[in-house]
Amino acid sequence: MVLFEELGNVVIAGVTSNLKMKGIPLTKSEGAIKDSVIKLNYIFTVSEEMISKVLFHLSKEKKQLIFDSLNERLSGLKA
């Protein structure tokens, strides 16, 4: 799942169909190929050339949930 793009790089969060894993649920009704979990503890960067197509779009509410969850995790990094 794309978190943001900058300077030809795309920062993404992993998505898994292993529903036993912790994360934010993503359902077929939301556009996923199958019920899945967005793993905000699995974030990495890829080149924009590695992105070939859009698989789903998130609702405003789901985006807010992801933002709040990331913000909560990152707030612990304050100096």
- Supply the pLDDT for residue 30: 87
- Supply the pLDDT for residue 7: 94
Q: What is the pTM of this model?
A: 0.84
Residue-range domains of the chain with CATH: 2-77 (2.30.30.110)
- Supply the pLDDT for residue 31: 85
- Supply the pLDDT for residue 79: 61
24-32 long-range Cβ contacts below 8 angstroms, 24+ apart:
24/62, 24/65, 24/66, 24/69, 26/1, 26/56, 26/62, 30/56, 30/58, 30/59, 30/62, 31/55, 31/56, 31/57, 31/58, 32/56
Give pLDDT < 50 ranges for the chain: none
